[in-house]
Structure 1
Amino acid sequence: MVDQGYSWIHLAILGGYFLMLGLLAFYGSHRYLMVYLYKKYVGNDPEPAGFFDPSDLPKVTIQLPLFNERYVCERLIEAVAAIEYPHDKLEIQVLDDSTDDTTDICRKAVALLRARGIPITHIHRVDRTGYKAGALAEGLKTATGELVAIFDADFLPEPDFLLKSVHHFWDPKVGMVQARWAHLNRDYSLLTRAQAVLLDGHFVIEHTARNRSGRFFNFNGTAGIWRREAIDEAGGWDHDTLTEDLDLSYRAQLKGWRFIFLRDLAVPSELPVDMSALKSQQHRWAKGSLQTARKLLPTILRSPLPFKIKLEAFYHLTANIAYLLLVVLALLMPIATVIRLHEGWWITLFVDLPIFLGATFSICVFYWTSQRELGRGRLETLKLLPAVMALGIGISLNNSKAVIEGIIGHQSPFVRTPKYNITSGEAWTTRVYLKPGNLLSLLEFAFAAWFTLSIFFVILFEPGGLFSLPFLLLFQAGFLYVAMTSLMHTIKSLRARRILRLSAELEA
């Protein structure tokens, strides 16, 4: 049938294949726009409109939302207590929703700091209503700060964080200041190095481009400071999405508040070191962005905002749909490759290649630019790009599930990302709250097998289709890497649990 022309089934498959490529190229073109805007405005770094007198600094409440963070809570509390700011202008709230020994660790750390004169309090909730958003809202009931800084459990702000950021609030229209995330354990493994590149692209390129060009961007839930008035005027913290930070950001900017991104102010944080934790984090971010899109995008599009802001908001809030498109493309690509093997190379050159480059090459340009702007070497960046692309492909099944749940309105609890206080070669399996992988890994193996069969078919039976091998190999590697890593981490997790259980029985 292939040799005699296309049947309607073939045409349907090819139509779906090119539709997915076209839609991915639509989102891919946005990365080119971000790089262009970044290059255009890169030197336009924000400066404070004025500076507070040292004797008249605004009062700052620092909120530390915690839930079962036994490995990192003390490290965070000590780092925040070392922040340089007048104590009569400072208030630290440890917002503890924990159900394990984290609460005892926090109480002891807070007591010691209070004895040293640090203005810090421990607020423990038994009812976790609203999860992180609920904890932040609970803290605001007693907070006295004009400004509110927030740090998640795995962040370590430098002592001069407030003094480098607070002066931007001299302008009464500024509602939020966001710092860039840095990475304590960037070089722990290939997984953490690839994650670091992904996050660098978001912070270095996207945040800078959006903020400097007058588009909306978002608070990232941590390493930032809010003006209390902006939180209140925007309606406060809501927990009807899994990304309460993204939701509040857009509501505040719709009210006219200005946001500022400080690219050169970096706050070190800890990246997930196991695949299960990464999947959980990615699921929450992907699902929350679609929940926020459902909630706010109609309001944004109906508003009198400039078209460039509306278009960017659409790209931003719906960007994770690209993962769902990628999964459909992964299903269709091997079949479309086989169907089209009789075509000449020139059709691929002039039809497929431009669309595919629009959908995928933009990823290389985007992350290459972010790494070069941070001073990373060319060779180092070049070696990491395949891993970054493979991870993005491999995680697509996990994130597609989140996207579908976000679109249909399926509700799920806020699942925290485990933090282990591991920055070097220590094995994360020495930590006790490990979560085995789920059945999604089996589907990832199935997709890897699907591409493996396609590769063997092309090599053995259709040597004329060798042009497709790089793309097939990339998808195979992505699904296989994520599936294998998930399996290995699950085995290590179960083995560690067994050892810990046996140790506990022996001690008993």
Structure 2
Amino acid sequence: MGEWMSAVEVMPTVCFSVAVQACILGLLFWNQRRGVEARRWSGVLLVAVYSVSALVAFAVVGNALWLAPAVLLSLGVAGPLCVGMKHDSVARPLYFTNRLLGFLLSSFILGRWFLWDFPSSASLARALMFVPWLGIFCLVALQVVYGLLLEAAGFHPVLRRRYVRPTQPLPARREPPFPRVTVHIPCHAEPPAVVIATLDAVSRLRYPAFDVIVVDNNTADPALWKPVEAHCARLGERFRFVHVEALPGAKAGALNLALRLTPSETQLVALLDADFVCEPDFLECLVGFFDDPSIHFVQTPHDYRDWKDRGFLRAAYWEERQGNFLQLPGFSERGFATLIGTTCLIRRDALEAAGGWSRKCLTEDSELAFRLSARGGQGLFIPRTFARGLLPQTFRDLQKQRFRWIAGPIQQFQMHWRALLPGRSPAMSAPHRRAWVFHCLDLASGMVMQVLGMISLLGSVVLVLQGQRVPLPQGMLLLVGAEFASAWGMLWLRSRMLRGSLRDLFAAGVLGASLQQTRRNAVSAAFFSRQPLAWRRTSKFKASSRGWRAALDSTRVELGTGVAMLGLAGVMAGLTDFSRPDLFLLAGIGALMEGWRQLSAPGLALLADAELRREARARPALSPARPEAVAPATAAACRTAEGSSPAASPPP
């Protein structure tokens, strides 16, 4: 009787939530195809979605008693949000409200399940599962509201009706004033041909008032930096090359030296990584934003070349493209822009007033953005490509890069958390303050929740050893299935917004999953390492195959964990009574997903190595006398900037 009552109470709300999510997906696809609906239709659509969803839930379950609380809660939250979010599609308040409803509903189902359905003889297993669930509930509840608001930022092209911040570059500046710009290019042990291609592209900039400072720091081999020095001399007096030894601070140290060498008349500093080949209009389309004195920096996306012919690089490209062309522009529109390290312009006096670049943080770019925002500075993210660089060519190099990107924000939070306390940094805007707090909280809580999830799996193992079955509540399986279907729908939507294929976006998702252990390592190192974290650079030299054993060397933990998780999933599947789903089924699904994520890492490491081996076989042997053998670089790295397609168009 208790189980029947539980099903009757919960299933109408579960069906209502699933139906609302289906309507939201339909509305998002409509917006992607036809454009965001007019504001006058927002209220009508909101009422229509909830009415249709309630009718569907009643038709499926046949009980309207427990629909009323869900409908009233949804209207009570979504209605005011719809009024307040006047520049957004009604899909945004609908999406936020339904995700909130799903969180509350799943928490209610699981809480009652732990209290009512667990047999008293399984007290140890219940403790091993209940305590992690309670911890996860608290972490999610702490950030659910702001997290859901930020989650929608990645879908801003189908949610935003009217933009309040710039989303496109300005027309090229052809008339004075021309604020002086100094381009800083740091490099360390880079292939000369790659750096020379970058310098050639800079020399073709159409902006009349700029100069260039190239800082080569700590490169021991003269064969790498001497050709770059000679090329700067050939390019003329605009280009200044500096080689220094024993310079501390890695990239930040080189940028601080470049700042000290910058001419006094310079007003803006542009930053280019050594492998980023820029477009001729890079400066002339961006300097106009600094006519507004509140703008301290303008950031443009990371974009890349030479990725189309290799599956590993395609996955990496599309994984990054989602952040650079969807999420970061969405954050900027909502008042939170950040620096990501290259193809950006920074106001020189703001940079100096903030103290330059920090040598204590692996992500010196976002750390600088924090200090600029603490001083009241604003930034913009303009989602148009102005330069293309090179992607990491091996999984090991990708791990190095992402380790920096995850550990760095945690380091900056450790450095500056006091500035986020109430009453501190009064010049910092509220969106910036909230975003910095929740971004770091998200990184840390993600690792904690994964650890708690593993403890929950241990509770399932205890049930296996005790031979006890615990039936699952019906609503939970439906919610899990709906979440899985919704994730695929959102993936398809992102592929259409980015004009990519569903296959490419799925491969990008696999690559993102493969870096889960790298994220854990980065978070752990940032919090618990007693030694300063080393700045490990990503090589720009043409990689070569090192064999499958070497490829797997950096993924030993993922390989071992993945095999163990698949074995556990098999055990759980063998114990599951599929006629009446129980906890073993849910634990098996969890173990299977964890095993898939872990084994994605060695799979991609092997793929990258195999593609390098196949590429080497297809490439003709080079004569030792040819310069390419000394400083290898891809042919495309040396193509002119005029030959690159503009970034506003979809990738070729």
In structure 1, how many angstroms separate the alpha carbons of the residues matched to 2:595 and 2:295?
A: 47
Residue type of the partner of 2:122?
Y
Report what 1:414 is aligned to: 535
Q: Residues 277-356 of structure 1 correspond to what in structure 2 (within 5 A)?
A: 277-302=397-422, 303=424, 304=426, 305=428, 307-325=430-448, 327-328=450-451, 331-332=454-455, 334-336=457-459, 339=463, 342-346=470-474, 348-349=476-477, 353=480
Match of 1:387 in 2: 507
Q: Secondary structure of the equivalent of 2:286? A: helix
Number of paired residues?
477
**Structure 2 counterparts to residues 70-219 of structure 1, below 5 A:** 70=191, 72-86=194-208, 89-97=209-217, 98-100=219-221, 101-114=223-236, 119-144=238-263, 145-214=266-335, 216-219=336-339
Q: 1:200, 1:371 within 8 Å by CA — same for their partners in 2?
A: no
Alpha carbons of structure 1 residues 399 and 262: separation in structure 2 relative to 1, 3 Å:
same
Give the one of 431, 437, 452 matched to 2:566: 452
1:108 shift after superposition: 2.5
| Aligned-partner Cα distance in 1 for 2:370–2:161 | 22
- The residue aligned with 1:226 is 346
Number of the residue aligned with 2:496: 372
3-state DSSP of counterpart to 1:184? coil
CA distance in structure 2 between the aligned counterparts of 1:50 and 1:77, rounded to whole angstroms? 24
Structure 2 CA distance for partners of 1:151 and 1:365, relative to 1, 3 Å: farther
**Aligned equivalents of 1:123 and 1:319: distance in 2?**
40
Aligned 8 A contact 1:394 1:479 in 2? yes
Contact 2:300 2:381 in 1 (8 A): yes
Give CA-to-partner distance per residue, 1:262-298, whole Å, 9 cap, x none. 1134432222121000000011111111001111232
Task: Tell me, in whole angstroms, the C-alpha distance in 1 between the residues paired with 2:198 and 2:301.
Answer: 17
Give 2:600's aligned residue.
481
Give, in angstroms, the shift of residue 73 of structure 1.
Answer: 1.4
Secondary structure in structure 1 of the residue aligned to 2:277: coil
Q: Following TM superposition, by how much is the alpha carbon of 1:179 offset from its aligned partner in structure 2, in angstroms?
A: 0.8
Q: Structure 2 stretches of 5 or more lacking a match?
A: 1-117, 579-583, 616-622, 630-652
Q: Does 1:462 align with 2:576?
A: yes
* Local SS of the residue matching 1:180: coil
The answer as to 2:132 corresponding to 1:16 is yes
Structure 1 residues 409 and 123: CA distance shift in structure 2, 3 A? same
Are positions 1:260 and 2:389 aligned together?
no
Q: Is the partner of 1:164 in helix, strand or coil?
A: coil
Q: Could you tell me whether the CA contact under 8 Å between 2:169 and 2:382 is conserved in 1?
A: no
> 1:92–1:120: 8 Å Cα contact kept in structure 2?
yes
Q: How far apart, in 2, do the equivalents of 1:264 and 1:90 lie?
A: 21
Report if the CA contact (8 A) 1:177-1:262 is conserved: yes
CA contact (8 A) 2:362 2:405 kept: yes
Distance 1:15 1:185, change over 3 A: farther
| Superimposed CA distance per residue, residues 236-257 of structure 1 (whole angstroms, 9 cap, x where no aligned partner) | 1111111111111010111111
CA contact (8 A) 1:289 1:318 kept: no
Hey, what does 1:499 align to over in structure 2? none
SS at match of 2:276: coil
Which residue identity does 1:402 align to in structure 2? A
State which drifts further: 71-80 or 243-252: 71-80
On the 8 A contact 2:319/2:511 being kept in 1, the answer is no
Q: Which amino acid aligns with 2:566?
A: T
Distance 1:483 1:31, change over 3 A: farther
**Identical-residue share of aligned pairs (%):** 22
The alpha-carbon deviation at position 479 of structure 1 amounts to 1.0
Give, in angstroms, the shift of residue 365 of structure 1: 7.0
2:122 — aligned with what? 6
Deviations along 1:69-101, one digit per CA (max 9) or x if unpaired, are 115212211111221121xx2111111112233
Higher relative contact order (CA 8 A, sep 6+): 1
**Residue identity in the other structure for 2:544:** T
> Which is worse superposed, 393-402 or 21-30?
21-30
**TM-score (norm: length of structure 2):** 0.65
How far apart, CA to CA, are the structure 2 residues paired with 1:187 and 1:322?
A: 35
Amino acid at match of 2:260: K
Contact 1:287/1:405 (<8 A) preserved: yes
Q: Deviations over 1:42-92 (max 9, x none)?
A: 644517899866243111101111011115212211111221121xx2111
Partner SS, residue 254 of structure 2: helix
- 1:191-235 Cα offsets, whole Å, 9 max, x none, are 323323332232223322222122x32111101011101101112
Conserved 8 A contact 1:42-1:208: no
Check conservation: 1:436, 1:493, Cα contact below 8 A: no
| Superposition deviation, residue 369 in structure 1 | 5.1
The answer on whether the counterparts of 2:376 and 2:429 sit within 8 Å (CA) in structure 1 is no
Determine the C-alpha separation between the residues in 2 that align with 1:447 and 1:48. 47
Q: Could you say which residue in structure 1 is the equivalent of 2:643? A: none
Cα distance change of structure 1 residues 342 and 181 upon mapping to structure 2, 3 Å threshold: same
Sort the Cα spacing of 1:35 and 1:226 in 2 relative to 1 into closer, same or farther, 3 A.
Answer: same
Distance 1:486 1:163, change over 3 A: same
- 2:516, 2:597 within 8 Å by CA — same for their partners in 1? no
Counterpart Cα distance in 1 of 2:459 and 2:513: 18
What is the aligned partner in structure 2 of residue 240 from structure 1?
A: 360
- Measured in 1, the distance between the counterparts of 2:130 and 2:393 equals 39
Report if the CA contact (8 A) 2:155-2:326 is conserved: no
**TM-score, reference length from structure 1:** 0.82
Question: 1:308-354: per-residue Cα shift (whole Å, max 9, x none)?
Answer: 4322111223432255236425634644556495313515337x739
Q: Is the 8 A contact 1:35 1:366 kept in 2?
A: no
Amino acid at match of 2:570: F
Q: Pick from 497, 519, 522 the counterpart of residue 399 of structure 1.
A: 519
Tell me the distance in 2 between the aligned counterparts of 1:85 and 1:242: 32
RMSD over aligned Cα atoms? 3.7
CA distance in 1, matches of 2:312, 2:421: 38
CA contact (8 A) 1:17 1:332 kept: no
Match of 1:442 among 546, 556, 565: 556
Counterpart residue identity of residue 275, structure 1: F
The Cα offsets for residues 336-393 of structure 1, whole Å up to 9 and x where unpaired, read as 556495313515337x739x94xx88876776555433323xxx23x34443343333
- Flag the structure with larger Rg: 2
Report the Cα distance in structure 2 between the residues aligned to 1:207 and 1:64, rounded to whole angstroms. 24
Gaps of 5+ in 1: 422-427, 497-502
Give the whole-Å Cα distance in 1 for the aligned partners of 2:229 and 2:477: 65
Matched residue SS, 2:212: strand
* Most deviating of 196-205 and 143-152: 196-205
**Counterpart of 1:15 in 2: which secondary structure?**
helix
